[in-house]
Amino acid sequence: MKHTKKLLALLLALALGLALLVPVGAVGAEPSAGLQAATSQWWEGLPGFVQSILRWLFFGWIWMKPITPPIQPLNPETVANNLMRAIETKDIDLFTEQLCLNIMQNVTDFPVQISMIFDVLDEEIIEVKWKKAGGYQESRGGGKSLKQTILHIDYTTSMGKYRLGGVLEYYNSFQPEEMGIRAILLTEYDPPYVPFVDLRATNGVGEWHD
């Protein structure tokens, strides 16, 4: 199949060269008048419908060939800011947009857990700050690559201090829909770190997943 595609591409390139009356030769080389004349004569000798088919084959192949845009990694700062804004405004939809597909498809009560985060932090917020704290990345065969980072969003409120910790998959070269928060945990800031909410994907939290 691989060699067949190469042969087809070569034939289509030759067809274009003939269609435009430009002989195939070395780059920068001046084609001989004899070769140009022979090429032109050969092309003009083809029936009109054959010329049209060859032209449409080439240009159709060019325009219909799928172009895959490069995958843009998520910006951890943007995700952290979106989470903080969602909590401040109690915007479940904005919070949900930061989650990976696995959570949205496999965790049935994730809206309830998001609401619990809002309820715990429904206090006067004195200070909030965030940082990245380590991460995980791995590459495997076939160009597959995963990159994750840990987010810490620390809240100081009128009632205490809390940490919202998340595992953000900010790059996935083969399943871009799985980019996003793969786990999020709301705990007290100080030991014993009592968890209020523990929301996570079924797999791929700080490890490889397909």
Both 117 and 18 in one domain: the answer is: no
Tens digits of pLDDT across the chain (210 residues): 444 454 455 555 555 554 444 444 444 445 556 656 666 676 677 777 666 776 766 666 555 556 667 899 999 999 999 999 999 999 999 999 999 999 999 998 999 999 999 999 999 999 999 999 989 999 999 889 999 999 999 999 999 999 999 999 999 999 999 999 999 999 999 988 889 999 999 999 999 998
Q: Is residue 33 part of a domain?
A: yes
Q: Is residue 178 part of a domain?
A: yes
Looking at residue 172, its amino acid is: N
pLDDT tens for each residue of 6-49: 445 555 555 555 444 444 444 444 555 665 666 667 667 777 76
Q: How many domains does the chain have?
A: 2
Contacts 24+ apart (CB under 8 A), 183-191: 184/117, 186/116, 186/117, 186/120, 186/121, 186/162, 187/162, 187/163, 188/160, 188/161, 188/162, 188/163, 189/154, 189/155, 189/160, 189/161, 189/162, 189/163, 190/161
Which one of 34, 64, 94 terminates a domain?
64
Considering the domain boundaries, does residue 71 fall inside one? no
Q: Which of 32, 64, 96 is the last residue of a domain?
A: 64
Given 64, 86, 118, which residue is the final one in a domain? 64
Range of the domain at 44: 2-64
User: Do 57 and 149 fall within a single domain?
Assistant: no
